[in-house]
Structure 1
Amino acid sequence: MAEALQVCVVGHTNTGKTSFVRTLLQNTSFGEVSDRPSTTRDVRRAELKLGDDVVLEIFDTPGLEDGLGLYEYLQSLQTDQDRSRHNGPEQIRTFLQAPAAKDEFEQEAKVLRQLLQVDAAFYLIDCRDPVLPKYQDELDILRRCGKPILPVLNFTAHADQQSAAWQQALAQVNLHGWIEFDTVSLPEHGDSEIFQHLATLLPKHRTHLHTIQQQRQRQAQQRIIAARREISELLLDVAAYSERIASDELDQLSQITAAMEQRVVAREQRSVTAILQIFGFPANAATLQRLAVGQQAWQAPLFAPETLKEFGIKASKGIVTGGAAGAGFDLMVGGLSLGAGTVIGAAAGGLWQSWQQYGRRIKHAVQGHSEIHIQPEIIRLLAARQQQLVQALMRRGHAAITPLSLVNENAEFHEPARFKLFLARARAHPQWSTLNQEKFDDSLERSQCLRLLD
């Protein structure tokens, strides 16, 4: 692996430098982000790794506070006989040895000292601000360090942004390469453009930067795959979840459904937390509108077609619509026999396996028990909410402070082709839900059911 590339992040105070580093690192805990000016007072170092290798060192620097004053000070040092008048780095080194670098320009000195030591710099611009002389003076001073500078137009998603004016101002000082990168609301292609532009400025590091870019793209795909897997697990847990109620316990239906609602809500929150972690955000980075399950519980027919298939029995329309449990069948349990008419044409081994699985449910039905599942509409809403969360996180920068607020009205579910088959199989196998802990079975068939959502 090539030696790590070193870059620093520079700019006026409170332009989003630390926020930019957070977004590059995909780490919400780096540094301190605040609306207060001069939040960062010293140079902070961070690492971007690929595996165990450090591929990029990033230095977050204090904000430049007095560009006007420093520009005038540097100009005052110039004389007609000064050999360094066309040697910018030498001018900066001379300044760093002067008493002013430890006094009125102490913060600027920290920035320039670091800039002299790195390969390149990102110059952060709050493009909500107008182009002012102090910013132009800052750019002139930074360019004297002789390092490639990539201007970054931040806050481009804001209604008051003045990106066009800034682009014109940059061109006037011969900076024709720049990127628009909102650290709160990411552009469509994420951070790929950053490494592309950096490779243009640093041709000797082009291969190195291309490797970083490819790895970042793979990591983004892996996050999406992991999030989809988490959503599939949630949907299977809820779709297969069931509770049993006796016919003489119907007065307890509201308590049972309320308990089911609490478990489903808690299960969804676990998924939200897991997905936030996958994308590198803390658990409090998103809030969901309350999910009302209580009125949406439903009583599943025991002899649904998916259940009957487990017995090798093809259900006719008349059988499926039979009123009583077991209508059209000679099925009896509890010390009685399984009627021969039911098993004609069924393989004995497969039937016995299915009987082991469903015998208890049939017994419950004959004894006047019913099973309560979650309405498919609720499961679809869960899927839509999680998809909405993933899409929002893909566009969310790690500098964002305000939590995401996801509401049901904005949730749109793009239903997979085999979603209905997934629901049918899940409902027929309560042992596939982790919410049914006493009988949970993480089987191969469960994994195959999850793949129906791919």
Structure 2
Amino acid sequence: MSQEVPSFAVVGRVNAGKTATLATLLEVDDNEVLRVSATPGETTRVQVLPVVYHDEELVRFLDTPGFQQPVEAMREIQRLAGDGTPGPVHVQRFVAECGARFPDEVRLLEPVMAGAGVLYVVDPCNPLRDAFLAEMEILRWTGRPRLALLNPQGEIPAGQESAWREQLGATFNLVRTFDAHSARYEERRRLLESLLQIDERHGDAIRRVLGKMENEWQERRELAAEAIVDFLEAALLLRVHEPLDEKDEGLPARRERKRAEMTDRYFKKLAGIENECVGRLLKLYRHHLLRIDADPARHTGLDLATEETWRKWGLGRAQLAAAGAIAGGAAGAAFDLGVGIHSLGAGTVIGALGGGLAAFFKGGSLPELKVKFGGIKLAGGDGRNLVVGPPASPNFPWVLLDSMLLRYHGIVGRAHGRRDVEMVEAGAGESRVRAMASEKRAVLQKWFTSCLKGAPDRGLEPEVYGVVVNLLDVC
């Protein structure tokens, strides 16, 4: 314990969610660092968890064992007080003399009596029994600053939360709700701000933590935007090339095999680019229990081969037309309003890949100029090459962006106190790019068009980064 570094002991009943609360607050989802388990009494010792920025410890949290015998411990402290009112001196005597009979209660009270503030975690889904009242009394007798946290681990029965709040309000300086399995950045920040209200002596240290936390969060957001822009550029520049053989023209089985092989290679490479981006995001936000779902099977079967994907994500038809017009009507953004809705469906895109290839093999002599058949290009000149990618739909860049924004939303929204393994999926949620302002869509469309042409406009990149950072702000 240090007078310079404020300390807070997280205490409560066994399986009240103490360790999960700390895991979410401090962004730790690694069981090797902070064990979160459904096993009763998993925490058997005090674990020190420092908050360090630039090698300087600013605040310290302590994960403690849970109360095991609160009613009996309360009675023992009352016995030590005799006819007087129990207070800090009697709790200190309990800690010094009763470790053999009450090992868990003594362990959790030791740091409190050494100067730590109290964060008392309860699950308001449980009825307010005598054992909880005994815990509250013991903590009140310590005389230390006390914050009570309601950490619901299920649905709270009607009227039960108000009963908890009324009782806690009588014995604690402050009562707050903090769901360790769903709390996001703002809830974490509010919890730290609450510490200022229970012990103003450490105000400077807590405010420094809040400032550094905010700076770090903004820096992460900018690095996440950089990862997403890098992903979009790599995906839009992606092409798969294959040398042509004259024999392919007259052999249907061979040309079909080549078509399938090239398409498969294209989607595998696209999946690899997505994997790299999601991996960067997971590392930025300190998640070990999230898994990447971007694999070739999902690209050809879910992400790009269902009409629903293209209907839910990306821009609407009118928005595509407007973005293309504002961007100067570039070829990569051209959109024919006369075609049906299925022109945006991935089934049509994949069909265009096959149809374009079939058209080439049924054709005659090779043209000297590049001819685009819905994502398939025939390149002439000194050599003959078939080029696959990207899909011809003008919505393709927007669908890529939407899918990554949804993954980002899932990553930043997952509480570190959870210990279930989950996939980073983009299958849930509605389009986020459709809510953008038209001038921001125009910036992205111009840049998308330059990437699709194989020459990303570097002059637009500062604006592009700014637009993506803004999109991440609202996630």
Deviations for 1:408-444, whole angstroms, at most 9, x for unmatched residues?
Answer: 25352415512322221111117x7xxxxxxxxxx95
1:275 to 262, 274, 281: 281
Q: For the residues of structure 2 that align with 1:231 and 1:141, how far apart are their CA atoms?
A: 51
> What is residue 54 of structure 1 aligned with on the other side?
57
1:4 aligns with 2:21: no
For 2:196 and 2:25, the matched residues in 1 are separated by 16
Does residue 410 (structure 1) correspond to residue 429 (structure 2)? The answer is yes
Residue type at the aligned position of 2:380: H
Aligned partners of 1:285 and 1:403 also within 8 Å: yes
Task: Output the TM-score relative to the length of structure 2.
Answer: 0.72
Paired amino acid for 2:433 = H
| 1:213 and 2:232 aligned | no
Is 1:264 aligned to 2:270, yes or no?
yes
State the partner residue of 2:299: 292
Equivalent position SS for 1:75 = helix
- Corresponding residue for residue 90 of structure 2: 91
Q: Secondary structure at the match of 2:192?
A: helix
Corresponding letter in the other structure for 2:407: L
Q: How far has the Cα of 1:213 moved from its partner?
A: 1.2
SS in 1 for 2:286: coil
1:280 to partner: Cα distance: 0.8
Given candidates 121, 127, 132, the residue that maps to 2:129 is: 132
C-alpha distance 451-220 of structure 1, shift in aligned 2 (>3 A): closer
**Which of 435, 438, 444 is matched with 1:419 structurally?**
444
User: Does the CA-based 8 Å contact 2:140-2:172 persist in structure 1?
Assistant: no
Residues 334-345 of structure 1 aligned to structure 2 (within 5 Å):
none
Task: Tell me the residue number matched to 2:114.
Answer: 117
Map 1:427-442 to 2 at 5 A.
427-429=452-454
SS in 1 for 2:190: helix
The residue number in structure 2 matching 1:150 is 147
For the pair 1:66 / 2:66, whether they are aligned, the reply is no
Structure 2: tracts of 5 or more residues without a match: 249-254, 306-327, 333-358, 361-366, 370-376, 435-439, 469-475
Structure 2 CA distance for aligned equivalents of residues 118 and 145 of structure 1:
10
Alignment of 1:218-257 (within 5 A): 218-245=215-242, 246=244, 248=246, 249=248, 250-251=255-256, 252-257=258-263
Q: 1:55 to 1:374 in 2, by over 3 A?
A: same
TM-score scaled to structure 1, two decimals?
0.75
Query: What is the CA distance between 1:255 and its match in structure 2?
Result: 0.5
Deviation readout 1:378-421 (Å, 9 max, x if unpaired)? 54333222211222232322111123442525352415512322
Q: Over aligned residue pairs, what C-alpha RMSD do you find?
A: 3.4
* Greater C-alpha radius of gyration: 1
Deviations 1:53-94 (A, max 9, x none): 1001111111111111111222233323xxxx3451110122
Equivalent residue letter for 1:65: Q
Q: 1:392 aligns with which of 387, 407, 410?
A: 410
In 2, the alpha carbon distance for the partners of 1:222 and 1:97 equals: 47
Whole-angstrom CA distance in 1 between matches of 2:171 and 2:113? 20
Native 8 Å contact 1:120 1:147 kept in 2: yes
Contact 1:426–1:449, Cα closer than 8 Å, also in 2: no
Aligned residue type for 2:144: K
Residue 205 of structure 1 aligns to which amino acid in structure 2?
H
Provide the rounded CA distance (Å) in 1 between the counterparts of 2:275 and 2:6: 40
Deviations 1:119-176 (CA, angstroms, capped at 9, x unpaired)? 31110111221211101101111121111110011126x32364333112212x3435
Letter of the aligned partner of 1:396 in structure 2?
R
Secondary structure of the residue aligned to 1:292 is helix
Percent of residue pairs bearing the same amino acid type = 17
| Number of the residue aligned with 2:25 | 24
Cα contact 2:8–2:117 (8 A) shared by 1: yes
* Match in the other structure for 2:387: 371
Check the 8 A contact 2:140/2:171 in 1, yes or no.
no
Residue 39 of structure 1 aligns to a residue whose secondary structure is coil
The SS at the match of 2:264 is helix
| Count of aligned positions | 382
Contact preservation (8 Å) 1:19, 1:33 = yes
| Contact 1:380–1:413 (CA under 8 A) maintained in structure 2 | no
- 1:159 maps to a residue whose letter is E
Contact 1:27/1:398 (CA < 8 Å) preserved in 2? Answer: yes
2:368–2:381 CA contact under 8 A, matched in 1: no
